[in-house]
């Protein structure tokens, strides 16, 4: 027997086994991603993950590895700033180097489907290190991945939506990745917030301190934003860059070194400058010495940056804010153009703040005095019950009470201004759809409204609040074609007007198609919009012409004090909901029926005001028999009466030509 040969063979086997079971040397997630990860989408789809292009992602990604003591990270960011890549890279690294059970939460089914198919699925398929470990959906039964569970060895990555208690409370997980948390519901099936349910799933790892949780989101409403609250609770890290002109050449800073005077954060303010006309030639002024940083220098300056905590302290976890001003993906001229286009329009300012600045938008209304609004109405000259010449849409909305029905008739212009041409109360019982106040409502339904050109028109939209006397409203609306039964719903992220849903049921309890329908109205954001419009003020231009801002509300002098008190009956209050601060509407007086009518009117008009183009409005003007010479673009003449003369209404052609000038400007893109 050859002893040496046997010993040699055993030694070889032992070395081979030792090599197989020897742990891989530690590697930072950012380094692993650069070596192994293939970008799934975007401009660099199909190429390796290059962190030299996005250095602001390195620190955050490395905190999600096992060698970092950090457990919790929050990122408040603008759109398209690269943070989804952090989430994907952290998942990929964990599958390959730190396998454990993980959870990804998306706000809705559609966002989860997009994330799975366009990002996660592509990343797994194109990255060899992942494709070799994640079981395909065609694997043997029990070992196969599914649409909502990716299996790798004995561990899984679970994909969940934020409004499913079953998804959020059934399994123990070590790492959680929560995307767009500002779009999560406040409560899930009465069991608490999605964030609380996810935290409960990580309890088993609290003692070991190995759990990780990443929350990413574009913020929404100031004071209501979940990511804003989490950012404020953290150490508030900002991306400080170095001025290319006044920073010392060749200086390499220790990440822990204090900030120097020539290091600063790009912020939207007086130092961000641009021309108001195209080309905007946006540039930034260094706050230290007034150096000019041109737009073409932005990317190089961004890459000189580093994260610095602006609110360090005990118990404060890393929280990050990053926006398009610093982002290497968005030119400054684009930011300037979008801000100029937004002007003072809250419809555009909110997405600008959220998506470009990565900041929550403040919907707190300006203080509105009902007496001041009533005095303002004395300047108006339009006739009660008559459609002004620049209005092309009429809405009627009604609020049903235990006795009587309140209603408001609004005439809308293409630039979101509206005239209150009628607001009143129909007295009578509301228990019978064919009697009392509902009989008067039927008369209102049949009424037509005169315009400035000798025509009469029915209302374009008619809505009735079905929150009270619900079945009576359903019956009445069923008998009056075109009427919408409306129901207000709380919440900051609801659409202005929801999809119509069947309400009638048969003896089996099943919905009857073609019966009464109801549409939900997202009242909270609409109230913010209404109070913003309410605070708009007209001004007199240099030529003595009255200029009305977009969204301005015209009140007739016949409206009484009770009307103004009702439309100013609510205010936005700070409250605490599920352990965090939030914003809720509160009433300063009991009656707010005219306010509800305005909110429903805004909801019905929004479908037109948000989707109609200038051509659509011009077509509607022709349908309304507006004289042809007033529609001709060559005859535009922006004339409005000076404020000193309020004895007679403005001539029809003056107001109409101003409207048509606006339409021409929309067509020109100006």
pLDDT digits (tens, 9 = 90+) for 339-367: 998 876 777 888 999 999 999 988 877 76
- Taken in order 331, 337, 340, 342, the sign of the CA dihedral is negative
Contact 498, 603 (CB under 8 A): no
Identify whether the C-beta of residue 55 lies closer than 8 Å to the C-beta of residue 303: yes
CA distance 349 to 581: 23
Distance between CA atoms of residues 214 and 197, nearest Å = 15
Contact assessment for residue 498 and residue 429, using Cβ atoms and an 8 Å cutoff:
no
Q: Retrieve residue 232's tokens.
A: 């404020």
Q: Which residue has the tokens 């490395």?
A: 62
Residue 365 to residue 343: CA distance in whole angstroms: 17
> How many residues are given for the chain?
670
pLDDT of residue 387: 95
Strands 175-179 and 212-217: parallel
Report the relative pairing of strands 319-322 and 72-77 from DSSP bridges.
Answer: parallel
Residue 205 φ then ψ, to 5°: -105, 10
Q: In the block, which residue shows the tokens 């009305």? A: 548
How many CB atoms neighbour CB 529 within 10 A? 21
Q: Name the average pLDDT for the chain.
A: 85
614, 663 Cβ separation under 8 angstroms = yes
Closest CA relative to residue 320, chosen from 76, 154, 528: 76
Token pair recorded at residue 452: 């400035």
H/E stretch holding 200 = helix 194-201
**CB-CB contact of 412 with 393 (8 Å):** yes
Task: Scan for tokens 């929050």, then name that residue.
Answer: 74
User: What does residue 224 show for φ and ψ, rounded to 5 degrees?
Assistant: -120, -15
- Answer for the pair 419, 410: CB distance below 8 angstroms, yes or no: yes
Using DSSP, state whether 453 is helix, strand or coil.
Answer: coil
CA angle 647, 653, 657 (to 5 degrees): 120
Quote the CA–CA distance of 158 and 105 in Å, as a whole number: 9
The model's pLDDT over 290-300, given as tens digits with 9 standing for 90+, comes to: 999 999 999 99
Tokens representing 159 are 């994909």
Q: What pLDDT does 666 receive?
A: 40
Give pLDDT, residue 18.
Answer: 46
Q: Distances in Å between the alpha carbon of 485 and those of 99, 469, 504?
A: 53, 11, 12
SS3 category, 589: coil
- 102 — phi, psi (to 5°)? -135, 165
Q: Determine phi and psi for 385, rounding to 5 degrees.
A: 75, 10
Strands 155-161 and 102-106: what pairing?
parallel
Residue 279 preceded by cis peptide, ω within 30: yes
CA–chain centroid gap for 219, Å, is 8
What confidence score (pLDDT) does residue 651 get? 37
Q: Are 524 and 491 spatial neighbours (Cβ–Cβ below 8 Å)?
A: yes
Low-confidence ranges of the chain (pLDDT < 70): 1-24, 139-142, 250, 344, 367, 504-515, 578-580, 627-670
For 437, counting Cβ atoms within 10 Å of its Cβ (0-12 exposed, 13-18 middle, 19+ buried), the class is: buried
What pLDDT does residue 4 have?
53
Q: Given this model, what pLDDT does residue 507 score?
A: 46
Q: Would you call 578 helix, strand, or coil by DSSP?
A: coil
In this structure, how many other beta carbons lie within 10 angstroms of the beta carbon of residue 637?
10
| DSSP symbol at 203 | G
Domain 29-218 listed as CATH 3.40.50.300: yes
CA atoms within 13 A on the CB side of 552: 15
Count of other CB atoms within 10 angstroms of residue 214 = 23
Q: What is the pLDDT of residues 562-606, one digit of tens each?
A: 999 999 999 888 887 766 677 888 888 889 999 999 999 999 999
Burial (CB count <10 Å: 0-12, 13-18, 19+), residue 14: exposed
Q: How far apart are CA 579 and CA 596, in angstroms?
A: 30
Parallel/antiparallel/unpaired status of strands 501-502 and 483-489: unpaired
Structure confidence at residue 364 (pLDDT)? 76
| C-alpha span between 621 and 606 (Å, rounded) | 18
DSSP, res 353: I
Q: Is the dihedral of CA 453, 458, 462, 464 positive or negative?
A: positive
What pLDDT is attached to residue 142? 63
CA 434 to chain centre: 42
Instruction: For residue 344, count other CB atoms closer than 10 A to its CB.
Output: 11
């Amino acid at each position: 027997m050859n002893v040496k040969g046997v010993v040699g063979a055993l030694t070889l086997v032992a070395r081979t086994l030792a090599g197989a079971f020897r742990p891989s040397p530690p590697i930072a997630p950012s380094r692993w991603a650069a070596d192994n990860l293939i970008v799934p989408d975007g401009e660099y789809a199909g190429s390796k993950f290059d962190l030299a292009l996005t250095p602001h992602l390195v620190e955050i990604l490395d905190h999600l590895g096992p060698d970092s003591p950090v457990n919790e990270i929050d990122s408040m960011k603008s759109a398209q700033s690269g943070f989804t890549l952090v989430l994907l890279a952290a998942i990929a690294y964990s599958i390959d180097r730190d396998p454990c059970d993980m959870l990804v939460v998306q706000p809705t089914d559609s966002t989860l489907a997009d994330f799975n198919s366009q990002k996660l699925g592509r990343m797994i398929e194109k990255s060899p290190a992942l494709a070799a470990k994640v079981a395909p959906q065609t694997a043997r039964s029990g070992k196969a991945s599914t649409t909502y569970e990716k299996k790798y060895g004995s561990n899984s990555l679970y994909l969940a939506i934020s409004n499913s208690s079953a998804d959020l409370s059934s399994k123990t997980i070590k790492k959680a990745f929560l995307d767009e948390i500002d779009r999560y519901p406040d409560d899930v099936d009465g069991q608490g917030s999605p964030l609380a349910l996810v935290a409960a799933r990580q309890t088993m790892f609290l003692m070991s301190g190995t759990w990780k949780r990443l929350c990413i989101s574009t913020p929404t409403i100031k004071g209501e934003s979940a990511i804003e609250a989490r950012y404020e609770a953290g150490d508030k890290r900002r991306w400080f860059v170095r001025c290319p002109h006044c920073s010392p050449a060749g200086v390499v800073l220790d990440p822990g070194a204090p900030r120097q005077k020539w290091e600063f954060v790009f912020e939207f303010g007086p130092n961000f400058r641009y021309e108001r006309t195209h080309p905007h030639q946006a540039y930034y002024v260094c706050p230290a010495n007034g150096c000019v940083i041109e737009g073409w220098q932005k990317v190089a300056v961004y890459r000189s940056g580093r994260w610095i905590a602006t609110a360090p302290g005990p118990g404060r976890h890393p929280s990050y804010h990053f926006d398009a001003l610093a982002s290497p993906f968005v030119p400054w001229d684009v930011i300037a153009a979008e801000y100029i286009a937004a002007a003072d329009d809250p419809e555009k300012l909110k997405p600008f703040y959220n998506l470009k600045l990565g900041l929550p938008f403040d919907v707190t209304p300006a203080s509105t005095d009902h007496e001041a609004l009533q005095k303002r109405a004395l300047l108006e000259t339009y006739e009660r019950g008559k459609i002004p010449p620049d209005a092309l849409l009429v809405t009627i909305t009604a609020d049903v009470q235990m006795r009587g029905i309140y209603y408001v008739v609004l005439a809308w212009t293409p630039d979101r201004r509206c005239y209150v041409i009628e607001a009143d109360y129909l007295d009578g019982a509301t228990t019978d759809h064919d009697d009392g106040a509902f009989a008067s409502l039927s008369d209102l339904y049949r009424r037509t409204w005169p315009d400035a050109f000798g025509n009469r028109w029915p209302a374009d939209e008619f809505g009735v609040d079905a929150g009270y006397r619900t079945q009576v409203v359903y019956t009445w609306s069923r008998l009056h074609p075109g009427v919408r039964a409306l129901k207000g719903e709380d919440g900051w992220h609801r659409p202005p007007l929801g999809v119509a849903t069947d309400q009638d049921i048969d003896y089996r309890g099943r919905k009857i198609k073609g019966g009464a329908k109801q549409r939900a109205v997202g009242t909270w954001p609409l109230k913010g919009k209404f109070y913003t419009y309410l605070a708009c003020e007209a001004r007199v231009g240099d030529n003595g012409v009255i200029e009305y801002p977009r969204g301005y509300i015209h009140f007739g002098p016949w409206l009484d004090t009770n009307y103004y008190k009702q439309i100013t009956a609510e205010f936005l209050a700070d409250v605490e909901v599920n352990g965090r601060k939030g914003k809720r509407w509160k009433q300063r007086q009991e009656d707010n029926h005219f306010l509800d009518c305005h909110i429903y009117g805004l909801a019905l008009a929004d479908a037109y005001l948000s989707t109609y183009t200038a051509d659509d409005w011009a077509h509607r003007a022709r349908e309304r028999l507006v004289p042809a010479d007033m529609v001709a673009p060559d005859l535009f003449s922006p004339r409005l009466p000076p404020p000193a003369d309020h004895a007679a209404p403005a001539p029809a052609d003056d107001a109409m030509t101003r409207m048509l000038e606006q339409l021409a400007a929309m067509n020109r893109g100006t």
